């Protein structure tokens, strides 16, 4: 992890106005992404995890510049792309690609697979001859584990897993350097999910891709990520190398998330700490004052309601936004 | 199985119309008082149709034809008339669904919807119904039930709506609760809350529970016994520990191995099951439906294997021709390989 990072996100903010009332006046703002900063090194996989409303998808959309951030800075390969106008985003699209969650909604049902992939290839180089293009499409399909015959099919003739493979092939068609995958396996069955995860990892190793992988599933995140970032109500609350994170999370929310994953082992409850959080996730329209997690945190103290902790470096270079990170308390015998 | 709360024998559900398909094929199982049976499988395996057929929700659909027996409370539900069945629905057997938003009426207050169940199954005064409804909402962990009772569903969060659904299901103190993917639409920490609640209420009410899920983690957390379904058939059924420790069917073993669990070492490839589940309306493969995806297939597999015990555990049944030695060694290794 030396040199300039491929992606640099600095104090990024994106609010959405909520309109309502009978004159359509502004009712409030969804604090979707609030002051989030991190770097992603070239060739690295960063896993982003969080529950609904935590801002992980908005963050993904900011990074691929489907939406424009309000504040902060977004750099790709050393270049500031935060407010680049839509017109001049095309060259960027060849470098950054998004893989969507729902393989049923993200492919045009009226087009054949060859047309879907062909359109993406044209974005890279429109001057390719017809024959070369067909060969390139076949090569793309093969790369994602589909037979060339799939070229003539339409999305509805494909299973969910096969569609997601086409979605991946489309992302690869332009030869990107960064892939942002937003819940790419959430809509798939377990046995198919494993295939797609393996495929993504193979492709990453083969093509030297950098990946930002977004999921609510900590099991999936562990399988693919080098580093893990946890988001809660628009804030990044913890960022750590994957192995350290899973061995000992520092933020109480991370700990609760890890404890909430149902483990496929009937005796798992004997060896792990059971944490059941109280209450619901507060509305991102009005995030709590102080630490945003303090309303549900089992260890909250007076300070937590009053002042918001900043993401700061702990021993070992890990980042956490908490006044009372866990490891410290652990050693005092809690 | 005598003394069972519900005993389902040879349940078969056929879908007729444009494409004929057997959605549920000769499925038999029983659930005892206070027992939790999880039905697990991937999309289209017939787990939801099985559950809906038990409570009679598929009966009025002319495209479905059902056969088999469902013994509950000394009667065969398949032979009951519509009125008699309605008495059982809600009072004896209650069901909760995956999506709490579509199962609640958005135009009616939460309290009225729960009260309706009480009115239908007993004659209470309105004050009594309100008192009992508040009590139910409190039991399922809704804060300030005295005021929340007058809220509309849109004022509730996803987790609270599922709690309200559970309150509605509990209204008549059913002896059997069927929960179809009750936490799939919820966030992980909310899922944990709801599972904890269901476990507690199961004990408080002494209910039997049939829980349908695709998530083997949830199964491990809550089940006493597990039934694995594939392409409309039960391929393996047994006590939860036996099934997780020594899976006897290659499909079960493959499913267990393919979960990207958080306790697994990063970096290696996930074992996966090649191919995709058959689409039943396009015809089921001859013999064992798992044959085209199975790494251990034999010539024999073109004939449908019976559901029988492979080892000494007579409650652990599977539908596979492999010898008990292969099952115990190879399948176990597959799973341990994934854990190592």
The answer to whether the Cβ–Cβ distance between B270 and A198 falls below 8 Å is: yes
B42 CB neighbours in chain A (<8 A) are 189-191
Question: Chain A within 8 Å of B217 (Cβ-Cβ)?
Answer: yes
What per-residue confidence (pLDDT) applies to A10? 95
Please indicate if any CB of chain A lies within 8 Å of the CB of B190. Answer: yes
Torsion of CA A9, A15, A16, A22, to 10 degrees: 180
Cα–Cα distance measured from residue A212 to residue A48, given in angstroms and rounded to the nearest whole number: 7
Cβ–Cβ contact A132 with B under 8 A: no
Using the predicted structure, report yes or no on whether residue B291 has a pLDDT greater than 70: yes
Contacts B276 to A, Cβ<8 Å: 159, 161-162, 192
- On whether residue A204 sits in a domain, the answer given is no
What is the domain range of residue A70? 7-95+223-263+271-331
Percent of chain B with pLDDT strictly greater than 70: 95
Answer whether A189 sits within 8 Å of B159, measured CB to CB: no
Question: Which residues of B fall within a CB distance of 8 Å from A264?
Answer: 216-217, 219-220, 244, 256, 259, 261
Contacts of A33 (CB under 8 A, 6+ apart): A12, A13, A14, A55, A58, A59, A62, A69, A234
Relative to beta strand B233-239, strand B308-309 is: unpaired
The lowest-confidence range among A25-29, B224-228, B336-340 is B336-340
Residue of A nearest to B239 (CA): A266
Candidates A51, A194, A269; nearest CB to B271: A194
- Given this model, what pLDDT does residue B15 score? 87
Give B261's contacts in chain A (Cβ within 8 Å).
219, 222, 261, 263-264
Q: Rounded distance, CA A311 to CA A299, Å?
A: 18
Nearest CA in chain A to B293: A191
Note which residues in 241-270 of chain B have CB less than 8 A from chain A: 241, 244, 254-256, 258-264, 266, 269-270
| Residue A312 to chain B, least CA–CA distance (Å) | 25
- Using 50, 70 and 90 to split pLDDT, how confident is the model at B91? confident
Nearest CA in chain B to A241: B266
**Homologous superfamily (CATH) for B6-223:** P-loop containing nucleotide triphosphate hydrolases (3.40.50.300)
Give the whole-angstrom CA distance, residue A232 versus residue A235: 5
Is B46 at the interface with chain A, CB within 8 A? Answer: no
CA-nearest of B63, B57, B59 to B15 is: B63
Residues of B in contact with A52 (CB under 8 A): 158, 187
Question: For residue B266, is pLDDT > 60?
Answer: no
Q: What are the residues whose beta carbons fall under 8 Å from the beta carbon of B26, sequence distance 6 or more?
A: B10, B11, B12, B68, B233
Residue of A nearest to B185 (CA): A52
Cα separation, B26 vs B67, in Å, equals 9
CB spacing of A263 vs B255 below 8 angstroms: no
Does residue B290 register a pLDDT over 60? yes
* Helix and strand totals (H; E) in chain A: 12, 12
Cα A311 → chain centroid: 19
- How confident is the model at residue A28, as a pLDDT? 81
Using the Cβ of A247 and the Cβ atoms of chain B, whether some distance falls under 8 Å is answered with no
Query: Going residue by residue through chain A (334 aa), what tens digit of pLDDT does each one get?
Result: 456 899 999 999 999 988 766 666 667 888 899 999 999 999 999 999 998 889 999 999 999 999 999 999 999 999 999 999 988 888 898 999 999 888 778 899 999 999 999 999 988 777 778 888 899 999 999 989 898 889 999 998 888 889 999 999 999 999 999 999 999 988 888 888 888 999 999 999 999 999 999 998 888 999 899 999 999 999 999 999 999 999 899 999 999 999 998 888 888 888 888 888 988 888 888 899 999 999 999 999 999 999 999 999 987 779 999 999 987 544 333 3
Q: List the single residue in A with minimal CA-CA distance to B273.
A: A191
Q: Do B259 and A190 touch (CB under 8 A)?
A: yes
In a domain, A39, yes or no: yes
Which residues, at least 6 apart from A160, have a Cβ–Cβ distance to it below 8 Å? A103, A104, A187, A188, A189, A192
**Cβ contacts of residue B175 below 8 Å, gap of 6+?**
B5, B33, B73, B92, B93, B206, B207, B208
The total number of structural domains that make up chain A: 1
Return the pLDDT at B1. 44
B277 lies within 8 A of chain A by CB = yes
Size of interface A-B (CB pairs under 8 A): 135
Q: Residues near B213 by Cβ (< 8 Å), separated by ≥ 6?
A: B38, B39, B40, B181, B183, B184, B219
Other CB atoms within 10 Å distance of the CB of residue B49: 22
pLDDT at B304: 94
What residue segments make up the domains of chain B, in order of their start? 6-223, 228-339
B147 touches chain A (CB under 8 A): no
Contact (CB<8Å) A223/B270: yes
Question: Is B27 at the interface with chain A, CB within 8 A?
Answer: no
CB contact under 8 A, A189 and B195: no
Q: Degrees (nearest 5) of the Cα angle A91, A119, A90?
A: 15
Question: What integer pLDDT is reported at residue B216 of this predicted model?
Answer: 92
- Asked if the Cβ–Cβ distance from A52 to B187 is below 8 Å, we say yes
**Chain A residue nearest residue B222, CA to CA:** A266
pLDDT in tens, B307-334: 999 888 899 999 999 988 888 877 777 7
- Nearest CA to B55 out of B87, B98, B30, B15 is that of B87
Q: How far is B54 from chain A (nearest CA, A)?
A: 25
Whether the CB of A195 is below 8 Å from some CB of chain B: the reply is yes
A320: domain CATH number? 3.40.50.300
Say yes or no: A258 contacts chain B, CB-CB below 8 A.
yes
Average pLDDT over residues B197-209: 94
Picking from A51, A195, A264, the nearest residue to B217 by CB comes out as A264
Is B199 an interface residue toward A (CB < 8 Å)?
no
Q: Best of A46, A47, A150, A191 to disrupt the B interface by mutation (most B CBs within 10 Å)?
A: A191
Quick check: is A196 in a domain?
no
Which residues in chain B have Cβ-Cβ distances shorter than 8 Å to A201?
269
CA distance B269 to chain A (A): 6
Predicted-complex ipTM score: 0.82
Find the residue in A nearest to B266 (Cα).
Answer: A223
DSSP label of B330:
I
Q: What is the β-pairing status of strands A312-313 and A319-320?
A: antiparallel
Tell me, what's the pLDDT at B19? Answer: 72
pLDDT digits (tens, 9 = 90+) for B25-48: 999 999 999 999 999 998 888 999
């Amino acid at each position: 992890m030396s040199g300039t990072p491929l992606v640099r996100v600095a104090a990024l903010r994106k609010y959405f106005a909520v309109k309502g009332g009978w004159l359509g006046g502004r009712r409030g703002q969804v604090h979707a992404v609030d002051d989030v900063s991190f770097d992603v090194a070239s060739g690295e996989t960063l896993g982003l995890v969080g529950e609904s409303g935590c801002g992980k998808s908005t963050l993904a959309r900011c990074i691929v510049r489907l939406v424009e951030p309000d504040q902060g800075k977004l750099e790709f390969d050393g270049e500031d792309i935060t407010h680049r106008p839509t017109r001049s985003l095309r060259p960027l699209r060849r470098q950054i690609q998004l893989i969507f969650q729902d393989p049923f909604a993200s492919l045009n049902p009226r087009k054949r697979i060859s047309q879907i992939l062909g359109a993406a290839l044209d974005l890279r180089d429109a001057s390719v001859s017809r024959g070369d293009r067909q060969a390139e499409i076949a090569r793309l399909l093969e790369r994602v584990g589909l037979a060339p015959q799939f070229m003539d099919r339409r999305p509805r003739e494909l299973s969910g897993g096969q569609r997601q493979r086409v979605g991946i092939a489309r992302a690869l068609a332009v030869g990107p350097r960064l892939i942002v995958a937003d819940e790419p396996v959430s809509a798939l069955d377990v046995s198919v999910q494993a295939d797609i995860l393996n495929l993504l990892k193979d492709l990453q190793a083969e093509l030297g891709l950098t990946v930002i992988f977004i999921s609510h599933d900590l099991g999936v995140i562990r399988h693919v990520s080098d580093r893990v970032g946890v988001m809660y109500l628009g804030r990044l609350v913890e960022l750590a190398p994957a192995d350290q994170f899973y061995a000992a999370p520092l933020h109480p929310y991370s700990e609760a998330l890890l404890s909430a994953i149902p483990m496929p082992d009937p005796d798992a409850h004997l060896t792990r700490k059971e944490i059941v959080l109280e209450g619901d996730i507060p509305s991102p329209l009005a995030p709590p004052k102080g630490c945003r997690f303090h309303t549900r945190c089992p260890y909250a103290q007076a300070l937590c309601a009053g002042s918001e902790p900043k993401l700061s470096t702990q021993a070992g270079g890990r980042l956490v936004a908490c006044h009372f990170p866990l490891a410290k308390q652990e050693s005092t015998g809690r | 199985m005598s003394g069972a709360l519900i005993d389902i024998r040879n349940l078969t559900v056929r879908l007729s119309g444009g494409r004929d398909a057997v959605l549920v094929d000769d499925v038999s199982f029983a659930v005892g008082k206070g027992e939790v049976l999880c039905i697990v499988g991937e999309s289209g395996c017939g787990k939801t149709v099985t559950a809906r057929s038990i409570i009679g929700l598929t009966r009025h659909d002319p495209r479905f034809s059902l056969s088999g027996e469902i013994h509950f409370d000394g009667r065969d539900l398949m032979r009951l008339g519509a009125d008699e069945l309605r008495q059982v629905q809600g009072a004896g057997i209650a069901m909760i669904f995956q999506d709490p938003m579509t199962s609640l009426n958005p135009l009616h207050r939460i309290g009225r919807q729960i009260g309706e169940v009480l009115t239908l199954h007993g004659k209470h005064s309105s004050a009594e119904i309100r008192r009992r409804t508040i009590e139910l909402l409190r039991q399922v962990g809704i804060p300030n039930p005295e005021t929340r009772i007058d809220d509309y569903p849109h004022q509730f969060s996803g987790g609270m709506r599922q709690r309200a659904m559970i309150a509605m299901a509990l209204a008549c103190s059913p002896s059997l609760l069927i929960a179809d993917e009750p936490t799939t639409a919820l966030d992980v920490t909310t899922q944990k809350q709801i599972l904890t609640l269901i476990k507690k209420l199961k004990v408080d009410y002494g209910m039997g529970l049939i829980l349908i899920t695709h998530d083997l983690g949830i199964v491990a957390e809550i089940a006493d016994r597990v039934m694995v379904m594939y392409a409309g058939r039960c391929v393996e059924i047994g006590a939860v520990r036996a099934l997780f420790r020594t899976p006897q069917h290659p499909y079960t073993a493959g499913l267990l191995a393919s979960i990207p669990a958080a306790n697994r070492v990063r970096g290696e490839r996930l074992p996966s099951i090649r191919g995709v589940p058959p689409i039943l309306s396009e015809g089921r493969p001859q013999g064992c439906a798992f044959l085209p995806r199975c790494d251990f297939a034999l010539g024999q597999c073109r004939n449908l294997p019976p559901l029988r015990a492979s080892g000494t555990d007579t409650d652990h049944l599977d539908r596979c021709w492999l010898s008990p030695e292969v099952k115990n060694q190879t399948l176990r290794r597959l799973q341990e390989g994934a854990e190592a």
